[in-house]
Amino acid sequence: MNKEVLIRLNGISKAYDGETVLDHIDLEIHDKEFMTLLGPSGCGKTTTLRMIGGFETPDEGDVFFDGKRFNDVPPYQRQVNTVFQRYALFPHLNVFDNIAFGLRIQKRPDAEIKTKVKDMLALVNLKGFERRKVSTLSGGQQQRVAIARALINQPKVLLLDEPLAALDLKLRKDMQNELKNIQHQTGITFIYVTHDQEEALSMSDTVVVMAHGQIQQIGTPTDIYNEPINAFVADFIGESNIVDGIMLDDYRVKLAGHIFDCVDKGFGKNEPVDVVIRPEDVDVVATEKGMLRGLVTAVTFKGVHYEIIVDVKGFKWMIQTTDFVAEGETIGLSIDPDAFHIMKKSEFSGMFGDYSSFSDELEKLSDVTEEIEEE
């Protein structure tokens, strides 16, 4: 991949009514990269995007584009285009005129506009939709028009603000693939904002995890999943058990009263740490063979596997297993050394990773509240 830095954010801060939204953000975005800003609502990801689009100005810090300071350049002079969350198609124009809008502003000749719009419609799979009113289109089709309208200006960077949030699951998956294809075909840098970790992992070259107006971690999807930097990232990306542990020595960690071998090193002797164990990395074995013993308190059938909650000395673990175990059974747990991921203690320690209050219902409820907050 081309490693030329296209956009650089330098110590960006922003506050609304005294409430800090962004707290000294530093970020580099490379040419032709698919970068995702990921985080819960209110983490500052959309504000960061709007700063690049030119709709917000930083209180502190600088935005550089191609090496030039960009803070006070208005949106209409930036080589950046945006796909808005609610599409923002112009209701008085049809599909053709919506897509042609940017070129018409640039006063390009009609013939050029015609061919370019045609190409764009082909790119987003909407051939033959030229004369349709935008209000007669489905959500997915409107989103495609919004993407075509933004791409026709051949921007250096395309900003996408939760573009798939309003679509249903099936359509969302299709559009994820399509967006990825479009990015490959056009070679344009994509900056994508989402609160959906699965979307972030499956689409991006680089994921930026944000919380409380700060960047928690920047890395490839595999890095972020396998080597989360703190309890927040570990919990936000996928499911994880986050257990208090003590790093006795290099490669030896003590948790839940048992000393395990692990593959991490470089911590102080007897340093308290957070230990991440993914639910799929714990094996269920007979009690006498287990490194740990626990009582099964809940079993949920998930199709590919069972999701069970196991009480180990008062701490509830989530474990995914393909073997059926019954509620109330005592089982043994076995964990391979490379399944442990050791993290330094952080401000998020102890806030995440315990499944004692876990239930599917609760999970869904919290999803709903998040969506309402987005409004």
Partner 1 sequence: MKFLSKFYIVIIFLILYAPILVVILFSFNESGSLSNFTGFSLYWYEDLFRNDEALTALKNSLVLAVFSSILATVLGTLAAFSISRAKNKYYRRAMESVSNIPMMNPDIVTGVSMMLLFVGVAQFAKAGSYLGFWTMLIAHTTFNLPYVILSVLPKFRQMDKSLTEAALDLGCTPVQTLFRVELPYIMPGIVSGLMMSFTLSLDDFVISHFVSSPDFKTLPLYIYTQTAHEVKFSMYALCTILIFVILFLLIAVNVAGSMGEHRARKKAGKIMMGGK
Q: Which residues bind partner 1 (CB under 8 A)?
A: 53-55, 74-76, 80-82, 84-86, 88-92, 94, 101-102, 105-106, 128-133, 136, 149-150, 153
Q: Are 272 and 263 in contact (CB under 8 A)?
A: no
Distance of closest approach, residue 133 Cβ to partner 1, in angstroms: 5
Nearer to partner 1, 125 or 270 (CB): 125
Distance of closest approach, residue 256 Cβ to partner 1, in angstroms: 50
Q: How far apart (Å, rounded) are the C-alpha atoms in residues 316 and 94?
A: 56
Q: Are 334 and 290 in contact (CB under 8 A)?
A: yes
Distance of closest approach, residue 153 Cβ to partner 1, in angstroms: 7
Nearer to partner 1, 131 or 364 (CB): 131
Q: Are 186 and 200 in contact (CB under 8 A)?
A: no
Instruction: Tell how far CA 361 is from the center of its chain.
Output: 23
List b or e across 70-79, with b for residues whose CB sees 16 or more CB atoms inside 10 angstroms.
beebeeeebe
Reduced to 3 states (helix: H, G, I; strand: E, B; else coil), residue 165 is coil
Distance of closest approach, residue 78 Cβ to partner 1, in angstroms: 8
Nearer to partner 1, 53 or 353 (CB): 53
Nearer to partner 1, 54 or 213 (CB): 54
Distance of closest approach, residue 204 Cβ to partner 1, in angstroms: 22
Distance of closest approach, residue 66 Cβ to partner 1, in angstroms: 18
Tokens at 146, concatenated = 């919004």
Nearer to partner 1, 128 or 266 (CB): 128
Reduced to 3 states (helix: H, G, I; strand: E, B; else coil), residue 268 is coil
Instruction: Tell how far CA 278 is from the center of its chain.
Output: 18
The radius of gyration computed from the CA coordinates of the chain, to the nearest angstrom, equals 24
Distance of closest approach, residue 80 Cβ to partner 1, in angstroms: 8
Q: Are 145 and 168 in contact (CB under 8 A)?
A: no
Q: Are 93 and 101 in contact (CB under 8 A)?
A: yes
Helix or strand (DSSP H, E) at 318? strand 315-321
Q: Are 14 and 58 in contact (CB under 8 A)?
A: yes
Nearer to partner 1, 119 or 249 (CB): 119
Q: How far apart (Å, rounded) are the C-alpha atoms in residues 144 and 182?
A: 11
Nearer to partner 1, 161 or 264 (CB): 161
Distance of closest approach, residue 128 Cβ to partner 1, in angstroms: 5
Q: Are 143 and 165 in contact (CB under 8 A)?
A: no
Nearer to partner 1, 119 or 327 (CB): 119
Q: How many helices (H) and strands (E) does the chain have?
A: 9, 20
